[in-house]
Amino acid sequence: MEAAIKAGARTINIPDTVGYTIPNEYAQIISGLRNKVPNIDQAIISVHCHNDLGLAVANSISAIQAGARQIECTVNGIGERAGNCSLEEIAMIIKTRSDILPFYTDIKSTEIYRSSHLVSQICHMPIQPNKAIVGENAFAHSSGIHQDGMLKAQNTYEIMSPEQVGIRQNELNLTSRSGRAVIAHRLAELGYGKEDYDLEQIYAAFITLADQKGRVFDYDLEALVFFQNLQDDDEHYQLDFLSSSTHTGHVASATVGIRAGEQMLTEAATGNGPVEAAFQAIHRITGQPLKMVDYNLQAKGEGENALGQVDIIVEYQGRRYHGAGLATDIVRASVLAYVHVLNLFERSKRIDAVKQARRQA
């Protein structure tokens, strides 16, 4: 470390790459370096902790108490194996326990919840319900004594409020009677600039959703923006129609119509359920031998009218493609996810063709 600082290093990282150390041990390592490296005051000690033993956050806090001033962390703690130190946990520990932790960060805590869920969607990594700070149960109280205490005084069992991390109560209910200006205003309040979405497309999707659900909430709007940004203007495949049926004790069936460029292609198939039947129909339309690796369904929102988000991963010739679909009907959401994959697959073929042409040239 002394030689590195002499050579010009201004940040020195001490990683626990395999997540083996424990807090007091890690603190002693940092303290020892501060005491033994004569020019340590010329550099910032940075720490990088993995979570193999569930101690990445605890070790990082111990490190800053011992003199480290930079923590390498990730949103939702995503990372190799069991993950890295969780950004949202570090930020809220420092904010909540400022009485014994005289440190600060420039993190805007009210953006934590939205950032967490955005990263979860992009990386196709669901957040566990009991995840600290951002899990859906983080501010839920089911114990009778806890519920009684919360009714009498909210801070009895709540050391921080949902609003501190950006969890809104979704008080504004939008309906099909809401106009474009209202939608644009609400998205601006949620932090989206006009350049982040196409208002006409968002409004059309909003009206369709409002007709289906009756009320549209903030999380619905954000989901629409996210999925709009997944789409490309030059999509080769588009879902035109979908019909599916299932009856107890009978084989499910589905008919799918997909527009492929200028062609309209329709196929019907059966399966163990309507999703499998719809996928089989798509296989017949495209003839693409794609292998399903993962299928994940989660609710976006609350109640029986929540949007269903389907994430799938398929594999073809050693490559993996992640597709996502969003709809009130999970069969439709599943088909949209598959169509998304087909467009990614089509785009990769075009890119490969361009690369091949360049090599030949």
In a domain? residue 38: yes
Rounded to a whole number of angstroms, the distance between the first and last alpha carbons of the chain is 50
Give the pLDDT band (50/70/90) at residue 302. Answer: low
CA 29 to chain CA mean position, Å = 35
Task: Return the closest-CA partner of residue 268 out of 243, 239, 246.
Answer: 243
Q: Identify the pLDDT of residue 146.
A: 44
Same domain, 247 and 282: yes
DSSP lists the bridge partners of residue 308 as: 299, 327
Read off the CATH number of the domain in which 28 is found: 3.20.20.70
Which comes out higher in pLDDT, residue 77 or 326?
77
Domain boundary residue among 108, 123, 138? 123
Give the side-chain half-sphere CA count within 13 A for 54.
2
Same domain, 351 and 241: yes
Query: What is the count of structural domains for the chain?
Result: 3
| Inter-residue contact 61 to 93 (CB < 8 Å) | yes
Same domain, 7 and 70: yes
In a domain? residue 102: yes
Domain boundary residue among 123, 151, 166? 123
In a domain? residue 71: yes
Q: What tokens were used for 36? A: 């033994």
pLDDT tens track for 167-203? 765 445 677 778 888 888 888 877 788 888 888 888 8
Give the torsion through C-alpha atoms of 200, 201, 204, 210, to 10 deg: -110
Same domain, 226 and 245: no
Q: Identify the pLDDT of residue 305.
A: 66
CA 86 to chain CA mean position, Å = 14
Q: Identify the pLDDT of residue 143.
A: 45
Give the pLDDT band (50/70/90) at residue 278. Answer: very high
Same domain, 259 and 217: no
Same domain, 266 and 353: yes
- Angle between helix 23-36 and 56-65 (nearest 10): 30
What is the residue-averaged pLDDT of the chain? 85
Same domain, 278 and 214: no
Domain boundary residue among 203, 230, 257? 230
pTM beyond 0.75: the answer is no
Q: Identify the pLDDT of residue 156.
A: 60
Burial class of residue 326, CB neighbours in 10 A (0-12, 13-18, 19+):
buried
| Inter-residue contact 37 to 5 (CB < 8 Å) | yes
pLDDT tens track for 327-346? 888 999 999 999 988 888 88
Q: CB within 8 A of 295, min separation 6: which ones?
A: 310, 311, 312, 334
Same domain, 214 and 310: no
In a domain? residue 6: yes
Same domain, 260 and 355: yes
**Mean pLDDT to the nearest integer, 130-140:** 82
**Mean pLDDT to the nearest integer, 93-103:** 94
DSSP lists the bridge partners of residue 48 as: 15, 72
Phi, psi of 290 (to 5 degrees): -90, 135
Same domain, 281 and 204: no
Which among 40-49, 131-140, 297-306 has the top mean pLDDT?
40-49
Same domain, 221 and 279: no
What is the C-alpha to C-alpha distance for residues 303 and 210, in angstroms, rounded to an integer? 15
What is the C-alpha to C-alpha distance for residues 183 and 195, in angstroms, rounded to an integer? 14
Q: Identify the pLDDT of residue 169.
A: 57
**Mean pLDDT to the nearest integer, 157-176:** 70
Percentage of residues in the chain with pLDDT exceeding 70?
A: 89
pLDDT tens track for 351-361? 777 777 777 77
Phi, psi of 154 (to 5 degrees): -60, -35
Instruction: Pick the range with the lowest mean pLDDT from 105-119, 222-236, 273-287.
Output: 222-236
> Which residue is it, tokens 């968002």?
202
Same domain, 270 and 348: yes
In a domain? residue 82: yes
Q: Residue 300 sits in which domain range?
A: 237-359
In a domain? residue 275: yes
- For the beta sheet containing 237-245, the strands, ordered from the edge strand earlier in sequence to the opposite edge, are 237-245, 252-260, 263-271
pLDDT tens track for 57-75? 999 999 999 999 999 999 9
In a domain? residue 343: yes
The pLDDT of residue 32 is above 80:
yes
In a domain? residue 156: no
Read off the CATH number of the domain in which 249 is found: 3.30.160.270
pLDDT tens track for 1-23? 999 999 999 999 999 999 999 99
The pLDDT of residue 142 is above 50:
no
What is the C-alpha to C-alpha distance for residues 309 and 68, in angstroms, rounded to an integer? 41
The pLDDT of residue 233 is above 90:
no
